[in-house]
C-alpha cells in the first residue's frame, strides 16, 4: 500500500489542481483523489470536524479510508492527516466504511462499519477513539468489532452498515442501514449502555421495495421540532439511487411516519447530520460526479460536499433545508434587481462560476435562470419553473460528458399566495438549487472552459419580485 500523504503534500495537490475551473473553490472537497460520504461529524470545542469516505491514491472508490478536515465556520476547512486506514488482515481490511461520531463523556468516539472479504462482503461495526490536538490520533477499541451479526430477519450480512448513534436517558441508541433479502430496506434499532454491548430491539421500520428501493444505506434518525425525522439513501435497481425523508412519531421501538418526500432529485447522496451547540440540525451531503470514471481519474479528484444545510419542518411537516448562514462570510460583489416583468431573456453582467443567487418570483408564467453560459451560447445550464405544470427543471447542455443526460425534473407546487423562492449556489461543476427550502435539485455541470460565466433571467409572463447575486470568494488556494 502506498504511504499516506503528508499535510504539505495535500497542500501541494490542492495548489496543483486549482487550475481546473470545474473544481469547486468554496465547497469542501478532498486535496485530490476520491471522496464519497460525509462521516463522523463532530463539534469539538470551537471546531467542527468533518470526516469523509476517502481513497487517497486515485480518484476511484476502492479500499475506503477516512479523510479528515476541521473548520471554525463550516466554510473554511483545513486538511488533517488520514485518521483511519484499512488494516491488512483485520476486520476492516477491505475498507473503513461510513459511520458517525459522538461525545462519549469527553471521549470523541467514532462508530463505523468495518469491512473484510472480497467485495467488502463482511460488514461489522467497530469503534475508535480520538485524541490529541485537532483530534489527529485515532485508536481502535480493544473490543472491536462490537457488533458482528446482522439481525436474523435480514437474511444476509453483506448490507449491514453505516451506524448512526444518539443518546437517550436509558442509553445509546443506534440505527443501521440494512435490508431484508428478497424484499426492501429495513432499519434495525439497537441500544447499548456503553457503545460496546448492543442489544437488538427489532426493526424500527421496514420498506416497500417498489416505492423506496431495495437497500437503505446511511440512515439518520433524530428529533426535529416535535417530530422525529428519518432519512436514508436508497439503492434502486430500476432508477438512480435517491435520498428519502420521513417525519412522524417514535414510540421508543418503532417509527411511525406521517409525511415523506424526496430529499434531493439529483446528485446529493448519503447525507449525515449532527446537532450543533446552537441547537441547529446541520446536514452534509456527498455530491456525486456526473462524469465518467475515466474523466474522474483524468481530473484526479472526485466528489464534493454540499454546503451544510440547516434542517427544520414546516407547518405541513415537510423537510426544509437552508444552507448555513456562515456562507454569507465569503460573499463578495453584490448585484440587486428590483421588481420587474421578465419576458424573453434578460442578461445580467454579474455572472461567474462562483456565485450565490437568491430570487423571488410571482407564481405565474414560465420562470428561468440561465447560468454558466459560454459567450457563444455553445454551453450552459438552466433552471426552469413552469406555473402550468408546477415543475422545477434543471437542464445542462454538455450531455456527452454525462452518465445521465436527461434534464432533471421535480414536482414543485406552490400554495395559493406563495412566491417562487429560488436559491442557487454555483461553484465550478457544482450547482445546488433549492426552491422554497423544500425542493432540492443538486446537480453537476462541467463547463468546457473558464469563460462559461454568462448569467441571465428568462421568462414568459414571469414577474420578478427581487433578485440578489453575490460573487463568492474562494476558500481554497
Residues taking part in catalysis: 37
Q: Please report how close the Cβ of residue 77 comes to ligand FRU at its closest, in angstroms.
A: 20
Compare residues 161 and 463 and give the one whose CB is closer to ligand FRU: 161
How many residues bind ligand FRU (CB under 6 A)? The answer is 15
Question: How much of the chain is in helix, strand and coil states, percent to nearest 5?
Answer: 10, 55, 35
Exposure string for 137-151, b = 16+ CB within 10 A, e = fewer: ebebbeebbbbbebb
Exposure string for 272-310, b = 16+ CB within 10 A, e = fewer: bbbbbeeebbbbbbbbbbbbeeebbeebbbbbbbbbbbb
Compare residues 176 and 362 and give the one whose CB is closer to ligand FRU: 176
Q: Is 98 an interacting residue with respect to ligand FRU (CB under 6 A)?
A: yes
Q: Is 113 an interacting residue with respect to ligand FRU (CB under 6 A)?
A: yes
Q: Is 369 an interacting residue with respect to ligand FRU (CB under 6 A)?
A: no
Binding residue for ligand FRU, selected from 92, 217, 260, 432, defined by CB under 6 A = 217
Binding residue for ligand FRU, selected from 13, 25, 32, 36, defined by CB under 6 A = 36
Compare residues 149 and 399 and give the one whose CB is closer to ligand FRU: 149
Q: Please report how close the Cβ of residue 349 comes to ligand FRU at its closest, in angstroms.
A: 40
Contact yes or no for 261/437 (Cβ under 8 A): no
Q: Please report how close the Cβ of residue 123 comes to ligand FRU at its closest, in angstroms.
A: 8
Q: Please report how close the Cβ of residue 3 comes to ligand FRU at its closest, in angstroms.
A: 22
One character per residue 161-200, x = contact with ligand FRU (rule: CB under 6 A): xx--------------x-----------------------
Nearest to 2 by CA among 63, 74, 78, 73: 63
Verify cis geometry, omega within 30 degrees of 0, for the bond prior to 219: no
C-alpha cell at 434: 433549492
Neighbouring residues of 187: CB distance < 8 A, sequence distance ≥ 6? 175, 176, 177, 178, 203, 204, 205, 206, 216, 219, 221, 230, 232, 255
CA dist list (Å): 331 to 39, 55, 428, 445: 28, 32, 16, 22
One character per residue 56-75, x = contact with ligand FRU (rule: CB under 6 A): --------x-----------
Compare residues 26 and 268 and give the one whose CB is closer to ligand FRU: 268
Q: How far apart are CA 49 and CA 69, in angstroms?
A: 6
Q: Please report how close the Cβ of residue 94 comes to ligand FRU at its closest, in angstroms.
A: 10
Compare residues 268 and 379 and give the one whose CB is closer to ligand FRU: 268
Classify burial at 129, counting beta carbons within 10 Å of its beta carbon; exposed 0-12, middle 13-18, buried 19 or more: middle
Q: Is 96 an interacting residue with respect to ligand FRU (CB under 6 A)?
A: no
Binding residue for ligand FRU, selected from 25, 53, 305, 458, defined by CB under 6 A = 53
Q: How far apart are CA 177 and CA 123, in angstroms?
A: 11
Compare residues 68 and 346 and give the one whose CB is closer to ligand FRU: 68
Cell numbers 444518539 correspond to what residue? 166
Contact yes or no for 96/51 (Cβ under 8 A): no
**Which of positions 134-163 make contact with ligand FRU (CB under 6 A)?**
161-162
**Which of positions 218-247 make contact with ligand FRU (CB under 6 A)?**
218, 233
Residues that bind ligand FRU (CB under 6 A): 36-37, 53, 64, 97-98, 113, 161-162, 177, 217-218, 233, 269-270
Amino acid at each position: 500500500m502506498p504511504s499516506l500523504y503528508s499535510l504539505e503534500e495535500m497542500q501541494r495537490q490542492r495548489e496543483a489542481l486549482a487550475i481546473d475551473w470545474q473544481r469547486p473553490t468554496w465547497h469542501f472537497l478532498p486535496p485530490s483523489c476520491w471522496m464519497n460520504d460525509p462521516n463522523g461529524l463532530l463539534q469539538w470545542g470551537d471546531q467542527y470536524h468533518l470526516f469523509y469516505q476517502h481513497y487517497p491514491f486515485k480518484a476511484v472508490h476502492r479500499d475506503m479510508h477516512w479523510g479528515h478536515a476541521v473548520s471554525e465556520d463550516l466554510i473554511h476547512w483545513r486538511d488533517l492527516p488520514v485518521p483511519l486506514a484499512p488494516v491488512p488482515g483485520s476486520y476492516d481490511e477491505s475498507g473503513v466504511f461510513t459511520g458517525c461520531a459522538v461525545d462519549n463523556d469527553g471521549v470523541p468516539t467514532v462508530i463505523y462499519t468495518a469491512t473484510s472479504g472480497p467485495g467488502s462482503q463482511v460488514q461489522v461495526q467497530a469503534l475508535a477513539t480520538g485524541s490529541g490536538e485537532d483530534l489527529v490520533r485515532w485508536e481502535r477499541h480493544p473490543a472491536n468489532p462490537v457488533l458482528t451479526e446482522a439481525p436474523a430477519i435480514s437474511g444476509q450480512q453483506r448490507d449491514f452498515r453505516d451506524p448512526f448513534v444518539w443518546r437517550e436517558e436509558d442509553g445509546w441508541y443506534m440505527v443501521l442501514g440494512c435490508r431484508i433479502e428478497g424484499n426492501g430496506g429495513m432499519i434495525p434499532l439497537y441500544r447499548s449502555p456503553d457503545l460496546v454491548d448492543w442489544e437488538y430491539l427489532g426493526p424500527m421500520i421496514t420498506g416497500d421495495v417498489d416505492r423506496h428501493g431495495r437497500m437503505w444505506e446511511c440512515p439518520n434518525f433524530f428529533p426535529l421540532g416535535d417530530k422525529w425525522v428519518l432519512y436514508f439513501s436508497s439503492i434502486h435497481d430500476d432508477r438512480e439511487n435517491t435520498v428519502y425523508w420521513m417525519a412522524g412519531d417514535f414510540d421508543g421501538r418503532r417509527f411511525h411516519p406521517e409525511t415523506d418526500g424526496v430529499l434531493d432529485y439529483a446528485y446529493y447522496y448519503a447525507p449525515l447530520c449532527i446537532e450543533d451547540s446552537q441547537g441547529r440540525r446541520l446536514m452534509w451531503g456527498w455530491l456525486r460526479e456526473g462524469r465518467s470514471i475515466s474523466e474522474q481519474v483524468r481530473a484526479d479528484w472526485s466528489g464534493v460536499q454540499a454546503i451544510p444545510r440547516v434542517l427544520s419542518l414546516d407547518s405541513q411537516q415537510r423537510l426544509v433545508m437552508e444552507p448555513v448562514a456562515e456562507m454569507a462570510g465569503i460573499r463578495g460583489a453584490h448585484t440587486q434587481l428590483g421588481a420587474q416583468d421578465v419576458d424573453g431573456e434578460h442578461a445580467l453582467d454579474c455572472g461567474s462560476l462562483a456565485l450565490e443567487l437568491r430570487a423571488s418570483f410571482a407564481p405565474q408564467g414560465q420562470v428561468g435562470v440561465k447560468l454558466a453560459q459560454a459567450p457563444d451560447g455553445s454551453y450552459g445550464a438552466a433552471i426552469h419553473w413552469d406555473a402550468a405544470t408546477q415543475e422545477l427543471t434543471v437542464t445542462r447542455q454538455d450531455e456527452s460528458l454525462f452518465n445521465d443526460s436527461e434534464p432533471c425534473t421535480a414536482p414543485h407546487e406552490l400554495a395559493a399566495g406563495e412566491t417562487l423562492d429560488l436559491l442557487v449556489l454555483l461553484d465550478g461543476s457544482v450547482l445546488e438549487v433549492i426552491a422554497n427550502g423544500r425542493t432540492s435539485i443538486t446537480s453537476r455541470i462541467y463547463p468546457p472552459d473558464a469563460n462559461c460565466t454568462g448569467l441571465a433571467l428568462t421568462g414568459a409572463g414571469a414577474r420578478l419580485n427581487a433578485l440578489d447575486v453575490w460573487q463568492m470568494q474562494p476558500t481554497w488556494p
